[in-house]
Amino acid sequence: MNRARLIFHLDMNSFFASVEIAHDPLLKGKPVAIAGNPEERRGIIVTSSYEARAKGVKTTMPLWQAKKLCPGLIVLKPNGDRYRVASKALFEILFSYTPLVQQVSIDEGYLDLTSYLKEVHPVKLAQSIQERILAELNLPCSIGIAPNKFLAKMASDMKKPNGITILRKRDIATMLWPLPIDEMHGIGKRTVDKWKKNDILTIGNLALADHEMLLKRFGDRGIQLKERANGQDNRPVNPHAYSEYKSIGHSTTLRADTKSLPLIRSTLDDLAGRVHQRLRKKDLFTRGIQITIRYHDWKMVTKSQKVYNPLQTKEELLSEANRIFDKVWNGEAIRLLGISTYDLLEKKYAYKQLDLFTYKEDIKRNELDETMMELRERFGDHIVRKGWKKQEDQ
């Protein structure tokens, strides 16, 4: 490649299942699936080995359906600690090649390897990384090679498992443009129908789409995606991306000093909703919650708490806020309340250990949150209200 930048996107293949197979070599070559709540029929497939996928097993598929398609399926519970240890070892290997490593998720990342351009052929470099990960961790991966992050990401998806794909700008028309629009990185599943209704069925259709039509129907995001479809992406590989956002919070001064617990709870409910909306608009999650209380005598108290899994939903924020509040409130009249979030990270970096009992509910709740956000954005914050009615001091 003769471009100024050399970017790799590395994506582990069937990571959770691969880690389990590395832990127990007897599973190698067998159809293996990781499932939330595997003891019950309502369990959901989290991920599966390629042997299982060959039988039709897919992520989010009900467990009963997966077993029907693949009667010999070996089903295991998620082991978050095991996956985090493997992820840490993986990124230690990647950082040994360059300090410019941007972790995207527990099993995915970008590397800026431009400094190697004159030393080794990109494919040979990718092979050496791939072979080292396999030798040291017994884990397979796919690598995309390109002059920018978008093309590298698209390339890594083209050959799995154990693939290495190089995608140059001169190859975009033949390798990228024929792909259906729903395979383009950055196009959400919920918007695929909207693109298709505008006769954008392939990435090539988007690359050649009318500028004014895209701006009118998809806004600035549509123009940005058209640039990506044409291979334009100047984003740097940023090792510190997860810490770019400092905090997001809201506070409110009550109309009167109060000891009314219903009013306090109602105020926290409202604050949690406002913080959630801001986090969601920015696609951010939080690993820390802070409560601020200003008492009637102007004394200020703050109390913070780190959480095990990144949070974003109103219900999660409110639950943590109430828990912290119960620990710190001294029973005196309150003048001001605030909820802040810190240690923020982008949605794509947020890794949540899949809960055995709530994985399916997480999917439903995410869909409900998106619907409520759309309603609020169209009709205002008060169009959808949940929780108890606000009460005045008695």
Binding residues for Mg(2+): 11, 107
Cis omega before residue 25 (within 30°)?
no
Nearest CA to 83 among 139, 146, 15, 150?
Answer: 15
User: Rg for the chain (alpha carbons), in Å?
Assistant: 24
Nearest CA to 59 among 69, 45, 49, 71?
Answer: 45
Which amino acid is it at 144?
A: G
Q: Would you call 108 a catalytic residue per the annotation?
A: yes
Q: Which residues of 353-383 are buried (b: 16+ CB within 10 A; e: fewer)?
A: ebebeebbeeeeeeeebeebeeeeeeeeeee
Cα 249 to Cα 247: distance, rounded to the nearest angstrom: 7
Q: Are strands 74-76 and 32-36 parallel, antiparallel or unpaired?
A: parallel
Residues 6+ apart with CB under 8 A from 315: 365
Known binding residues are: 11, 107
- Active-site pick, 20, 51, 108, 320: 108
Q: Are the CB atoms for 6 and 129 separated by under 8 Å?
A: no
Cα 352 to Cα 341: distance, rounded to the nearest angstrom: 17
What SS3 state is found at 309?
strand
What SS3 state is found at 231?
coil
Q: Are the CB atoms for 78 and 356 separated by under 8 Å?
A: yes
Element (H, E) at 35: strand 32-36
By annotation, the residues acting in catalysis are 108
